[in-house]
Amino acid sequence: MQRVLALAALMAMSGGNAVSWRGEIIYQVMPDRFFNGDKANDGVVRRDDPKAWHGGDLTGLIQKLPYIRELGATSVWLTPVYEQMPGTFDGATGYHGYWPQNFRNVDSRFGTLDDFRAFTRAAHGAGMKVVLDQVVNHFGYTAPFVRQNPGWFNDPSSCAGKGDNDVFCPIFGLPDLAQQQPEVRRFLFENADFWRRLGVDGFRYDAIKHVPRDFLRELLSRDASANTFTLGEYFDADPGIVAEYQQLGFRSLFNFALQGAMRQSIMSGQGLDGVRAMLERQDEIPEPDQVALFLDNHDVPRFANGTPFEDVGRERTVYGVRALMTLRGIPVIWQGTEIAMRGGGDPDNRRDMRFSDVWTPDERAVYEAVKGAIATRKSSSALSVGNLKLLATPARLASDLLLFTRENGQQRVLVAWHNGRERRTVALRSTVAARISALRGDLFGQDAKLSVQGGVVYLSLPPRTAVAFELD
Ligand SMILES: [Ca+2]
Ligand SMILES: [Ca+2]
């Protein structure tokens, strides 16, 4: 008996992979482009130049935590705040945080280490968790450390012979850390410990495709032991890659393939077949509840930018957010998506955040709809953490209609995404019909209707939106 207890205690201590962010909603912030709370730390600011520093900082982020909380997010992910390399590269500064020269300090333009401590304290005080972006692949181009420690970096002239160009050769020419060397590994492990001690609850690891897997396995094992959530960015990851890296030790990965399919079907007007194909592959993923869901982020064009028309962009952003809130996983909202901000590829997708004092009535309407969709998800345990089962759709409707149930314990929700241009009534004779006896109306407060007659479910669906019905 004692031995069993001791074993149980040991397992609890090691943490294993137990840390779960099931049910969380993450809000993504790029501090330089969010809110300027302290003009004294600005340095050289040129807000008309998308590659220059714009003045946002940690003090501003603290001031806007009530805004993020009011939207309904439970966690904040901020892009890196390290001290950045001096000067510019190709006309760009390190405003985005991905060109570090000192991994254990906050850039003076974002504030100080004390400001970072104040931020994690304030977030925790508001009941929110903190996810910090962590760079483990490279230093900034002009960082003096690179010249002083050439042995820490893969040699670009011989990297091609090492077996994996993605891992051992530089991305975008950035000085590439040689994690095969013990001192480099130790340095990166201790970086994680450093930020963990400042109150970080989770790391978003950048560019993991370009980092050796044996190093990641050890890094993630240390994070798991410390109960730190881990979210990997493997650009363009599909369900197979998500599965592979969850098995390696990541708790979560961004499902880029699903994001691409949602952009094509919801924003760019193609059928829903691509989304269905991605959801059909969810069984490949060991832990679908932990996978990060998103419509856009700082590395892809804005979701609303998928149409040249601003009104269409707003309508379909609301459709997209409602659809996102019906899926299994952890929704991530990039700053500004809640008001359908526009912008093409980097850096146009990183325009300065607009807050309510400058919103147009149209932006306010999008915000209210997004806030409502988040609240709906949080109020339904089936939508937040339930399983997801795809339902058969009549073949002639396959491009226009996606149907699935979400179920958690006794709570069941029927979800329909409708891509058609006109209101449509759909009759379903499926096994689900037999189980539907009553319902509470459309959870997103739209004009959708459901009726059961003689074992057939009739749905009346407004054009181009996602709806959810709570079933008894
Ligand atoms: Ca500032
Ligand atoms: Ca690398």
Q: How far is CA 94 from CA 12, 27, 30, 298, 343, in A?
A: 40, 22, 12, 14, 20
Ligand 2 midpoint to CA 163 (Å): 12
pLDDT value for 428: 85
Ligand 1 midpoint to CA 112 (Å): 11
Ligand 1 midpoint to CA 29 (Å): 15
Ligand 2 midpoint to CA 146 (Å): 14
How many CA atoms, within 13 angstroms, populate the side-chain half-sphere of residue 240? Answer: 1
pLDDT value for 439: 67
Ligand 1 midpoint to CA 198 (Å): 21
Residue 368: how many CB atoms within 10 A of its CB? Answer: 12
Which H or E run contains 74?
A: none
Ligand 1 midpoint to CA 30 (Å): 13
Q: Is 222 exposed, middle or buried (0-12, 13-18, 19+ CB in 10 A)?
A: middle
Q: How far is CA 323 from CA 244, 295, 376, 419, in A?
A: 26, 10, 12, 11
Report, as ranges of residue numbers, the positions in the chain whose pLDDT lies below 50.
1-16
Ligand 1 midpoint to CA 111 (Å): 8
- Which ligand number lies closest to the CA of residue 184? 2
Tell whether the torsion through CA atoms of 362, 367, 372 and 374 is positive or negative.
positive
Ligand 2 midpoint to CA 214 (Å): 13
Q: Classify 319 as helix, strand or coil.
A: helix
Whole-angstrom Cα distance, residue 415 to residue 405?
6
pLDDT value for 8: 39
Ligand 1 midpoint to CA 54 (Å): 8
- pLDDT tens digits, one per residue of 398-426: 999 999 999 999 999 999 999 999 999 99
Break the chain into its structural domains and give their ranges.
16-385, 387-471
The residue whose two tokens read 């009739």 is: 458
- Which ligand number lies closest to the CA of residue 165? 2
Whole-angstrom Cα distance, residue 88 to residue 426?
57
Whole-angstrom Cα distance, residue 333 to residue 335?
6
pLDDT value for 18: 65
Ligand 2 midpoint to CA 162 (Å): 11
Ligand 2 midpoint to CA 232 (Å): 15
- Which ligand number lies closest to the CA of residue 168? 2
Asked if 54 and 352 touch (Cβ cutoff 8 Å), the reply is yes
Tell me if the bond preceding 31 is cis, omega within 30° of 0: no
Ligand 2 midpoint to CA 141 (Å): 14
Ligand 2 midpoint to CA 205 (Å): 13
Ligand 2 midpoint to CA 452 (Å): 57
Query: At the topology level of CATH, where does 387-471 sit?
Result: Immunoglobulin-like (2.60.40)
Ligand 2 midpoint to CA 166 (Å): 7
Ligand 2 midpoint to CA 254 (Å): 19
Ligand 2 midpoint to CA 219 (Å): 15
Whole-angstrom Cα distance, residue 462 to residue 280?
25
- pLDDT tens digits, one per residue of 318-360: 999 999 999 999 999 999 999 999 999 999 999 999 999 999 9
- Which ligand number lies closest to the CA of residue 35? 1
- Which ligand number lies closest to the CA of residue 41? 1
Ligand 1 midpoint to CA 186 (Å): 33
Whole-angstrom Cα distance, residue 183 to residue 145?
14
pLDDT value for 97: 98
Which residues, in sequence order, are CB contacts of 164 under 8 Å at separation 6+? none
Ligand 2 midpoint to CA 164 (Å): 9
In the CATH scheme, what is the homologous superfamily, with its name and number, of domain 16-385? Glycosidases (3.20.20.80)
- Which ligand number lies closest to the CA of residue 33? 1
Residues with CB under 5 A from ligand 2 (ion): 137, 176, 210
Ligand 2 midpoint to CA 177 (Å): 6
pLDDT value for 431: 65
239-248 and 213-225 helices cross at what angle (nearest 10)? 60
- Which ligand number lies closest to the CA of residue 167? 2
pLDDT value for 16: 45
Ligand 1 midpoint to CA 57 (Å): 5
Ligand 1 midpoint to CA 107 (Å): 11
Ligand 1 midpoint to CA 92 (Å): 18
Whole-angstrom Cα distance, residue 400 to residue 393?
10
